[in-house]
Amino acid sequence: MAAAILLLVSGCGAAVGKRSGEALVLRYADYTSAQSGEGFRAFAAEVTDRTAGRITFDAYWGGSLLSGTDMASGVRGGVADLGMFTATYYPSEFPVTDWLSRLGNSADTDYPRGVMQANAAQSDFAMSSEDVNRQFENRGMKLLFSAHPITNYDILCKTPVTTLADAAGKRVRSGGGMWDDEVRALGMTPVGLSIGETYEGLERGVIDCALASPKTVTSYGFWEVAKHYTRLPLTGINAQYVVMNQEVWDALPVDDQRVIWDAAYLWFQGYLEYEGLGLEKVLVDAGISKHGLNFHDPADELSTVLKDQQAAVRAELPAVAPDRVESPETIVRDYANTMRIWHDRLAAMDLGAAGDNGDIDLTEYAAEVRREVFDRHRP
């Protein structure tokens, strides 16, 4: 009986979501906490309002329906109708987006324009790329938008690390893969710890440093056990994708598809405001005032070694592209061009008189992203 119930639940979203009377109830799965869900909630409210309640949503947070590593198969199989997941969790199943993750150091590092550039350019590129969209479509999913939640990682250490001499031999929780290579290039030693083991690792001296971002430091409390934050731009995360079960999407009338598509911008902006802009302000304000966090800039020698290593990786990308990518040089060039376009657009925008201290006017940005990204791909 239990198996039959599980089969029924996993299959009921595969065609048209779950019907409740005349309403279509779409299930959203997220492995992060509901605290980060203001963007989704704005999206869901807009869709429900514009469809007069014909489409509503049930949200499942904190991995209660699907974990991060189950998200792709769960959305494809109909356990959830929509989900947000990080494609680098699936290097073999999603080789194109995993390969593109090595370009997660392409945006400017200044705040707030670099964060806004990264998110607009990442969504623009992903939604325009035939290779990216085909990868999702071949696995039964419709891409709604992409995000660049971490523009770059920095390092958080127990002692100041600003020079190559400081970095030499330091043990760092890096996250594996491409970050191990960057850490080694700096003369540091990568250590394999899960994110959940990192606090204790810092506290007990098992590691000296950890890759850090506003989200990891504030969410996991690392600032309680390590007080030196160096703004060293290691590769960030450009592999966040919001997807919908393809059969559910295809079963919707085009008018409802357009409602969902238009409302998705609210989700995009809410995610940007919380993950990209808001947590940076929390990191600086609360970090200094409540946790005694010290912020450092790296010496030129440290930055140069890292940037040279990243440039070498980008230059090698066409040679290590997945077999299914027909023109890897073009993709790498298009990604860089998209980043440059959005750099120029952000440079020309008026973000408000207080734009550099966190009180950002997103009016011009919203109009530009809607017009140049979402409207161009509207059903």
Where residue 303 sits, what CATH number does that domain have? 3.40.190.10
Residue type, position 344, single letter: D
352 band by pLDDT with thresholds 50, 70 and 90: confident
- pTM of the complete model: 0.90
Give the chain's domain count. 2
H or E stretch including 151? strand 150-157
- 70-96 pLDDT tens trace: 999 999 999 999 999 888 888 889 999
DSSP 81: S
- CA atoms of 379 and 374, how far apart (whole Å): 10
Residue 230 pLDDT > 90: yes
The count of other CB atoms within 10 Å of the CB of residue 88 is 22
Give a yes or no: residue 7 inside a domain. Answer: no
Q: What range does the domain containing 100 cover?
A: 13-149+236-281+310-377
Give residue 345's pLDDT.
98
Specify whether 247 is located in the same domain as 365: yes
Specify whether 304 is located in the same domain as 251: no
- CA atoms of 48 and 260, how far apart (whole Å): 10
Of 11-20, 45-54, 130-139, least confident by mean pLDDT is 11-20
Specify whether 69 is located in the same domain as 191: no
Residue 228 pLDDT > 50: yes
| Residue 237, φ and ψ in degrees, nearest 5 | -115, 115
CATH number of the domain bearing residue 78? 3.40.190.170
- CA atoms of 33 and 321, how far apart (whole Å): 34
- CA atoms of 53 and 242, how far apart (whole Å): 22
Specify whether 79 is located in the same domain as 18: yes
Specify whether 38 is located in the same domain as 100: yes
Specify whether 248 is located in the same domain as 372: yes
Burial, 67: exposed, middle or buried (Cβ in 10 Å; 0-12, 13-18, 19+)? middle
Report whether 276 contacts 149 (CB < 8 A). yes
Residue 190 pLDDT > 70: yes
Specify whether 333 is located in the same domain as 292: no
Specify whether 205 is located in the same domain as 247: no
Specify whether 69 is located in the same domain as 44: yes
From the CA atom positions of the chain, what is the Rg in Å?
A: 21
Specify whether 353 is located in the same domain as 301: no
Specify whether 73 is located in the same domain as 193: no
